[in-house]
Amino acid sequence: MTLRLLFIPALVLSLFVSAAHAAEERLLMMRSTQSFPETMLALQKTLGEYGYTVSRVQRVDIGLTSSGFQTDRYRIVFFGRPDETRELTAAHPGLIPYLPLSMTLYAEEEETLLVALDPTVLEEVVSTREFGFRVQRWKNDILSIMDELRED
């Protein structure tokens, strides 16, 4: 009973404290010293080497500048493994809005930034152990790809 009395306020306190913290790092980011076109080329090549297919590139900067807004180069690369994507969307339709995976690239002067969602976030959509391994593998792939691009 005493334990329970202590546990409930402790739980409430812990919830409050966690709400007070900054969000943990859930975006995977990387800065390349290479120019935007070089980084874009290297990314597409490296994704292929890791077994991913680039399904589409969205040129956000083109749309923005043609609408009269000022921006540097800003693109979104969609990618996935075809069979894996098909299998996952069939087994777990909740993942559909998040697939194919994507990476955002944008220029900062002569350097290029890459941003990707940490795929382990998707465990909030599918919480099976097997899927946990899969998103961890995706995360490792993305981090390795970023490391390779950084060192190019």
Point out which residues bind other proteins (CB under 8 A). Answer: 19-27, 29-31, 33, 53-56, 58, 60, 63-64, 67, 69-74, 76, 78, 80, 82, 85-86, 89, 93-94, 96-100, 102, 104, 106-109, 111, 113-118, 121-122, 124-125, 143, 146-147, 150
- Shorter beta-carbon distance to other proteins: residue 2 or 66: 66
Shortest reach from residue 57's CB to other proteins, in Å:
9
How many degrees, rounded to 5, is the angle at CA 64 between CA 99 and CA 114? 50
- Shorter beta-carbon distance to other proteins: residue 38 or 111: 111
Shortest reach from residue 13's CB to other proteins, in Å:
14
Please identify which residue in the block is written with the tokens 């080497």: 49
- Give the contacts of 131 (CB within 8 A, at least 6 positions apart): 92, 122, 123
- Give the contacts of 134 (CB within 8 A, at least 6 positions apart): 84
β-bridge partners, 57: 77
Shortest reach from residue 5's CB to other proteins, in Å:
25
Which amino acid makes up residue 9? Answer: P
